[in-house]
Amino acid sequence: MTVLRDVETLPGVSGWHRVCRLTDLLPERGAAALVAGVQVALFRTFEGGLHAVGNLDPFSGAQVMSRGLLGCRGGVPVVASPMFKHVFDLRTGESLSEPGPGLPVFAVRVQDDMVEVSLEPASQPASSSADTADRAGTVASGER
Amino acid sequence: MVVVGHGPAGHRLVEALRARDAAGTCRVTVLGEETRAAYDRVALTSYLTEDADLALPEHDEAVRVVAGDPVTGIDLAARTVTTASGLVVEYDALVLATGSAPFVPPVPGKDLPGVFVYRTIDDLDALREHCTNLTLSRPGAGGVVVGGGLLGLEAARAVQGLGVETHVVEVAPWLMPRQLDEGGGAMLRRHVEALGMNVHAGTPMERLEAGEDGAVASVALAGGASLDAGVVVFSAGVRPRDELARGCGLQVGERGGIVVDEACRTSDPAVFAIGECALVDGQVYGLVAPCFSMAEVVADQLLAAASDTDCTARFEGADLSTKLKLMGVDVASFGDPFRADGLDVTYTDPVAGIYKRLVVSDDARTLLGGVLVGDASGYPALRAQVGTRLPGSPEQVLFGGTEAAGGDLPGATVICSCNNVSAEAIRSGIRAESLTEVAQVKACTRAGTTCGSCVPLVKRILDAELTAAGVEVSRALCEHFEHSRAELFDIVRVTGITTFTRLIAEHGRGRGCDICKPVVASILASLGNGHILDGEQAALQDTNDHHLANLQKNGTYSVVPRIPGGEITPERLIVIGEVARDFGLYTKITGGQRIDLFGARVEQLPLIWRRLVDAGFESGHAYGKALRTVKSCVGSTWCRYGVQDSVGMAIALELRYRGLRAPHKIKAAVSGCARECAEAQAKDFGVIATEGGWNLYVGGNGGMRPRHADLFATDLSDEELIRYVDRFLMFYIRTADRLQRTASWLESLDGGLDYLREVVVEDRLGIAGELDAAMARHVGSYSDEWADTLADPERMRRFVSFVNAPDVPDPSIAFETERDQIRPVLVAGAELEVAGR
Ligand SMILES: Cc1cc2nc3c(=O)[nH]c(=O)nc-3n(C[C@H](O)[C@H](O)[C@H](O)COP(=O)(O)OP(=O)(O)OC[C@H]3O[C@@H](n4cnc5c(N)ncnc54)[C@H](O)[C@@H]3O)c2cc1C
Ligand code: SF4
Ligand code: FES
């Protein structure tokens, strides 16, 4: 049984970890990944933005965030936990539906069509997702 | 005072007089030709289609009503009227409210048996009797309605409802020529034909021909065509009934109508004329609203005369906006759509069958009129805005017509033109009486009580008032859609949109969320737009639908195979047992007579389904907002008391509705006799066997807010039962709110159970055909979602624990043992559970 602790305390997790091909991620859905023993929820939005947050839903204690629905709240990209529908800001991990613990946010990038995650806590989201945040609200024409 | 004619105009006059004359200075006698007292002629068709009671409220005792005795002569000098029975009545003031009579063109054969007009209850009784005989003696017989105007189309739909293959013959080149231009007429034709009626426009009729029995049998058209016509209905316009006035020397118009001034006074100052028989300012009005206004004017005049005061009440023309009362076809015209000095803005969508035209003043600032075909949702608001400054560009008004008005309508705007009720009158009614329901506003202000077309606007004013008063009324689904679920359903249905992306781009904003995505997914699924896990739809489903299983507290899933009616063979029971044992699943019998298997990890789901599907099981849809189970008792096969085969019926129903996506889950049950062992009355729909068939109950609920189901219909045959359940479910799916169970839906339904019955049994909305077709599509396209998923590698991709380590089970999932079965242990500990709800 693996118990999730604060990421910083885990040894040997620095640097970028190759996780999967970009095409392994379904648009507008999430997938769970096991990165150096840490469960990470990866999301790829319609517009192509990528986000990586912790897979543990802090309200229910289950590793299910990757199965939540994506969306936006007032232009902020969010994920809603499938358990009790708590909503989190994908860029900051902040809990938006009620005060409480948030999600850890991880840096994520695409190199050679491969998705890479860094477990060092990212205060800022990866560049591709910042881009998403700007575009959220204008949305999704049918072309994609 | 004497009133001749007890139609809507005469009735309203007497009502207004009595309401304003508390002292009873006026003694009123009403002489009517029809054998019954006044009734609501506007709603005439509903008498045929739903046996509606059309009677208008009775007058109080101070009023003498003589029915069935037409007035035959007026002596202006002696101030008396004489009736057919010889009654002579004196008057100080006489009001003619004789209405009009259908115009029957002088074609050969017009007097044959089987030829009717469409004006009175007696006409309809005779028409119905004839059609009943006709369809019995000659099934499949045709019928012809002469006239493709508002009334003709209404009559045609009614004739069709009597089981006759219906043709509409219109002399003008297109339908509703008085309201529509050519483009609108062409679009309307497509809608009418889609309802299954045949349209012959631009073709005059030559003669009616009799068959062997002497009754009408066919209609010959110009150009040689002949139509099968066992029944013919003339609805080719009306002529004012001015024969009495003519006979006594009152002035009448060249083309008919009793000439009156703006106070509705005829050429004899003691005689008034109101309603459809009156010719005011060179015009005869064929709509009920102006008839009512004239009645009000005369009531004021008479009371002023009685008290010797001056009266300034005048009839000042009327709003001629109309809306076709034909469900399934939206047509409306408002203001003056033929104004030559205006500018046209036209929009046509041939795919959706929509045609809209606005006529605006040449500075594009003021709305003058327009027509709407295919989508008349903007009608109430647009009509109220005629003559006022447009709130935006004409295009914005054309498309935002519904949103543009509401709280901000000027107080003087007439909202209900039938009853001449202004926005201000409605607002002050709401405030003074603290009204919160549309029905209350109708009762209090009279708005919306006649043709009903202003009700949406009344509702919006009410909503705006309530919002201002701090009552929450927003129907918006979420921040991405302004619409309620029912509205979105209609949008998807009418536009045929098949993707969320297009729907939100055209009708919403942003990119959606966990609230609107599953709702749209469910709507798309209800409308049969593909597999719930196909393409883009897959991204909309919440995790239960996405994984075709139910998420449990530790992130594992439970699996429920369908066991229709709760009947299961020992072999299959053993398979379930073996699967549960092999995968180490916790096993429990559910309340819906099936077996729930808990503790499956994502990557185990396909393996479990494989085993189940191979043994003949399919998905039980326990994860979906869909039909769950149809529970049954053992019924007449085994039970000593049973009177019908409840298990057989439960299985048939469960197989029919399995997989049907709905606003919320649907549960059902069938009991084999009145002892009700299956608890059918606690279900969304419940069936209880009787000696004569089945009783159907709807809108029951267990759970948090238990509700006993209402008895909907009794002693149904198998076919009737299934037809009613089909329509009930489809109507619910169409109109309910997000996550609204049938119980609360039924409670919030305007008109309640009676209305539901009218829609389902009597097809009051004319949508039964659509509902039936929708259900037929569902039944025809059903396939097992588990088997489909197993067969599709693309869909199988989501059933892995980790995208980068598909073979590694989620290490956080752990179990301990309790009563010989597994039970989840949450890694993160108990304090987290408290944070959840
Ligand atoms: C099927 C149908 C649908 C309609 N739908 C709409 C609609 O959606 N919207 C709308 O605005 N309008 C509609 N109308 C029109 C509306 O019904 C009329 O405008 C309204 O009925 C006119 O009222 P009235 O009292 O002037 O005349 P009527 O309703 O014709 O009443 C006149 C009465 O006077 C009686 N009478 C005549 N002569 C004598 C006599 N010599 N002695 C005694 N009694 C006499 C007649 O028998 C009749 O009962 C519809 C009409 C029909 C037939
Ligand atoms: S409802 Fe009637 S038929 Fe069914 S088990 Fe009970 S007693 Fe028997
Ligand atoms: S406009 Fe006809 S009832 Fe209000």
The pLDDT-based confidence of B796 (bands split at 50, 70, 90) is confident
Q: How far is B603 from chain A (nearest CA, A)?
A: 12
Q: Do A34 and B829 touch (CB under 8 A)?
A: no
The pLDDT-based confidence of A122 (bands split at 50, 70, 90) is low
Q: Kindly list the residues from chain A whose CB atom is less than 8 angstroms away from the CB atom of residue B813.
A: 63
Domain membership flag for residue B790:
no
Q: Does B836 touch chain A (CB under 8 A)?
A: yes
Residues B329 and B184: beta-carbon distance below 8 Å: no
Tell me: pLDDT of A97 over 90: no
Domain membership flag for residue B93:
yes
B764 vs A18 pLDDT, higher one: A18
**Do B131 and B195 reside in the same domain of the chain?**
yes
**Do B630 and B701 reside in the same domain of the chain?**
yes
Per-residue model confidence as pLDDT tens digits over B553-611:
999 999 999 999 999 999 999 999 999 999 999 999 998 999 999 999 999 999 999 99
pLDDT of amino acid B551: 93
Per-residue model confidence as pLDDT tens digits over B55-85:
888 888 889 999 999 999 999 999 999 999 9
Q: Does A61 touch chain B (CB under 8 A)?
A: yes
Query: Cα(B323) to centroid of ligand 3, in Å?
Result: 10
Q: How far is B106 from chain A (nearest CA, A)?
A: 59
Residue A97 to residues A64, A66, A103, Cα–Cα distance (Å): 17, 18, 13
**Do B588 and B501 reside in the same domain of the chain?**
no
Nearest Cα residue in chain A from B537: A28
The pLDDT-based confidence of B147 (bands split at 50, 70, 90) is very high
Domain membership flag for residue B677:
yes
Confirm or reject: Cβ of B690 under 6 Å from ligand 2.
Answer: no
Nearest CA to ligand 3 atom 1: B416
Query: Cα(B293) to centroid of ligand 3, in Å?
Result: 13
Q: What domains does chain A contain, in order, with CATH numbers?
A: 25-126 (2.102.10.10)
Q: Does B547 touch chain A (CB under 8 A)?
A: yes
The pLDDT-based confidence of B404 (bands split at 50, 70, 90) is very low
* Residue of A64, A86, A88, A144 to mutate when probing chain B, most B C-beta within 10 A: A64
The pLDDT-based confidence of B729 (bands split at 50, 70, 90) is very high
B31 vs B366 pLDDT, higher one: B31
Domain membership flag for residue B721:
yes
Q: Does B795 touch chain A (CB under 8 A)?
A: no
Q: Tell me the two tokens of residue B579.
A: 């699967």
Residues A37 and A69: beta-carbon distance below 8 Å: no
Q: Which of B621-625, B707-711, B793-797 has the lowest mean pLDDT?
A: B793-797
Query: Cα(B455) to centroid of ligand 1, in Å?
Result: 23
What CATH number is attached to the domain comprising B184?
3.50.50.60
A132 vs B374 pLDDT, higher one: B374
The pLDDT-based confidence of B311 (bands split at 50, 70, 90) is confident
pLDDT of amino acid B499: 85
Mutation choice for ligand 3 from B42, B287, B416, B462, CB with most ligand atoms inside 8 A: B416
Rounded to the nearest 5°, which phi and psi values hold at B503?
-60, -45
Q: Do B811 and A1 touch (CB under 8 A)?
A: yes
Query: Cα(B699) to centroid of ligand 2, in Å?
Result: 22
Tell me: pLDDT of B143 over 90: yes
ipTM for the predicted complex comes to 0.78
What does B749-812 look like in DSSP terms, one character per residue?
STTHHHHHHHHHTS-TTS-HHHHHHHHHHHHHH---HHHHHHT-HHHHTT--S-TT-TTS--TT
Query: Cα(B674) to centroid of ligand 3, in Å?
Result: 46
Q: For residues A144 and B736, what is the distance between their CA atoms, to the nearest angstrom?
A: 32
Domain membership flag for residue B565:
yes
Domain membership flag for residue B794:
no
**Do B229 and B327 reside in the same domain of the chain?**
no
Confirm or reject: Cβ of B380 under 6 Å from ligand 2.
Answer: no
Tell me: pLDDT of A7 over 50: no
**Do B375 and B244 reside in the same domain of the chain?**
no
Q: Which of B16-25, B89-98, B739-748 has the lowest mean pLDDT?
A: B16-25
Rounded to the nearest 5°, which phi and psi values hold at B179?
-110, -30
Confirm or reject: Cβ of B445 under 6 Å from ligand 3.
Answer: no
Nearest CA to ligand 2 atom 2: B673
What CATH number is attached to the domain comprising B568?
3.30.70
Q: Does B257 touch chain A (CB under 8 A)?
A: no
**Do B508 and B596 reside in the same domain of the chain?**
no
Q: Does A21 touch chain B (CB under 8 A)?
A: no
Residues B587 and B580: beta-carbon distance below 8 Å: yes
**Do B93 and B22 reside in the same domain of the chain?**
yes
Q: For residues B266 and B281, what is the distance between their CA atoms, to the nearest angstrom?
A: 12
Helices (H), B138-207: 150-161, 182-194
Confirm or reject: Cβ of B566 under 6 Å from ligand 2.
Answer: no
The pLDDT-based confidence of A100 (bands split at 50, 70, 90) is confident
B477 vs A88 pLDDT, higher one: A88
Number of A/B CB contacts below 8 angstroms equals: 153
Per-residue model confidence as pLDDT tens digits over B99-139:
999 999 999 999 999 999 999 999 999 999 999 999 888 88
Percent of chain B past pLDDT 90, that is, above it, reads 49
Domain membership flag for residue B495:
yes
Q: Does A139 touch chain B (CB under 8 A)?
A: yes
Which residues have a Cβ under 8 Å from the Cβ of B276 and sit 6 or more positions away?
B7, B9, B99, B100, B238, B240, B241, B284, B285, B286, B291
Q: For residues B687 and B673, what is the distance between their CA atoms, to the nearest angstrom?
A: 10
Residues A5 and A37: beta-carbon distance below 8 Å: no
User: Using N-to-C axis directions, what is the helix angle for B605-614 and B570-583, rounded to 10°?
Assistant: 160
| Closest to A107 (Cα-Cα) out of A5, A33, A12, A15 | A15
The pLDDT-based confidence of A1 (bands split at 50, 70, 90) is very low
**Do B414 and B561 reside in the same domain of the chain?**
no
Per-residue model confidence as pLDDT tens digits over B355-401:
888 888 877 778 888 888 888 877 877 887 788 777 667 776 666 54
Tell me: pLDDT of B93 over 80: yes
State which of B181, B216, B236 marks the end of a domain. Answer: B236
Counting ligands in written order, the one closest to the CA of B676 is 2
Which residues have a Cβ under 8 Å from the Cβ of B255 and sit 6 or more positions away?
none
DSSP code of B836? Answer: -
Per-residue model confidence as pLDDT tens digits over B526-543:
887 555 556 666 777 788
State which of B448, B468, B488 marks the end of a domain. Answer: B468
B330 vs B296 pLDDT, higher one: B296
Query: What rounded mean pLDDT belongs to chain B?
Result: 87
**Do B600 and B452 reside in the same domain of the chain?**
no
State which of B349, B375, B401 marks the end of a domain. Answer: B401
Q: Kindly list the residues from chain B whose CB atom is less than 8 angstroms away from the CB atom of residue A101.
A: 835
Mutation choice for ligand 1 from B11, B29, B33, CB with most ligand atoms inside 8 A: B33
Tell me: pLDDT of B446 over 90: no
pLDDT of amino acid B828: 52
- Taking chain B, what is the end-to-end CA distance rounded to the nearest angstrom? 73
In three-state secondary structure terms, B696 is strand
Question: What does the buried/exposed string (b/e) look like for B815-824 if buried means 16 or more CB atoms within 10 Å of the residue's CB?
Answer: eeeeeeebeb
| Closest to A100 (Cα-Cα) out of B774, B831, B293 | B831
Per-residue model confidence as pLDDT tens digits over A41-58:
999 987 778 999 999 999
Q: Kindly list the residues from chain B whose CB atom is less than 8 angstroms away from the CB atom of residue A19.
A: 803-804
The pLDDT-based confidence of B473 (bands split at 50, 70, 90) is low
Per-residue model confidence as pLDDT tens digits over B149-190:
889 999 999 999 888 999 999 998 999 888 888 888 888 998
**Do B421 and B397 reside in the same domain of the chain?**
no
Q: Do A69 and B511 touch (CB under 8 A)?
A: no
Q: Which of B202-216, B378-392, B692-706 has the lowest mean pLDDT?
A: B378-392
Q: Which of B254-263, B424-433, B661-670 has the lowest mean pLDDT?
A: B424-433
Provide long-range contacts, Cβ within 8 A and 24+ apart, for B584-588.
Answer: B584/B822, B585/B559, B585/B822, B586/B821, B586/B822, B586/B823, B587/B821
Q: For residues B762 and A117, what is the distance between their CA atoms, to the nearest angstrom?
A: 63
Domain membership flag for residue B788:
no
The predicted model gives B455-472 an average pLDDT of 75
pLDDT of amino acid B474: 60
Q: Kindly list the residues from chain B whose CB atom is less than 8 angstroms away from the CB atom of residue A83.
A: 551, 553, 836
A76-80 and B216-221 as β-strands: parallel, antiparallel, unpaired? unpaired
Residues B227 and B166: beta-carbon distance below 8 Å: no
Q: Does A134 touch chain B (CB under 8 A)?
A: no
Q: For residues B294 and B310, what is the distance between their CA atoms, to the nearest angstrom?
A: 18
The pLDDT-based confidence of B829 (bands split at 50, 70, 90) is very low
| Closest to A25 (Cα-Cα) out of B801, B798, B513, B533 | B798
Q: For residues B300 and B313, what is the distance between their CA atoms, to the nearest angstrom?
A: 7
What CATH number is attached to the domain comprising B433?
1.10.10.1100
Tell me: pLDDT of A4 over 80: no
Q: How many domains does chain B have?
A: 7
**Do B695 and B751 reside in the same domain of the chain?**
yes
The pLDDT-based confidence of B647 (bands split at 50, 70, 90) is very high
pTM of the model: 0.51
**Do B484 and B460 reside in the same domain of the chain?**
no
Per-residue model confidence as pLDDT tens digits over A82-96:
988 889 999 999 998
B567 vs B23 pLDDT, higher one: B567
Parent domain of B439: 407-468
Q: For residues B758 and B41, what is the distance between their CA atoms, to the nearest angstrom?
A: 19
Confirm or reject: Cβ of B452 under 6 Å from ligand 3.
Answer: yes
**β-bridge mates for residue B73, sequence order:** B82
What CATH number is attached to the domain comprising B776?
3.30.413.10
**Residues framing ligand 1 (Cβ under 6 A):** B 4-10, 31-34, 41-42, 44-45, 70-71, 97-100, 118-119, 151, 154, 241, 244, 275-276, 286-289, 291, 325, 451
pLDDT of amino acid B534: 63
Q: Sign (positive/negative) of CA torsion B106, B109, B112, B116? A: negative
In three-state secondary structure terms, B387 is coil
CA dihedral B238, B243, B246, B250 (to 10 degrees): -80
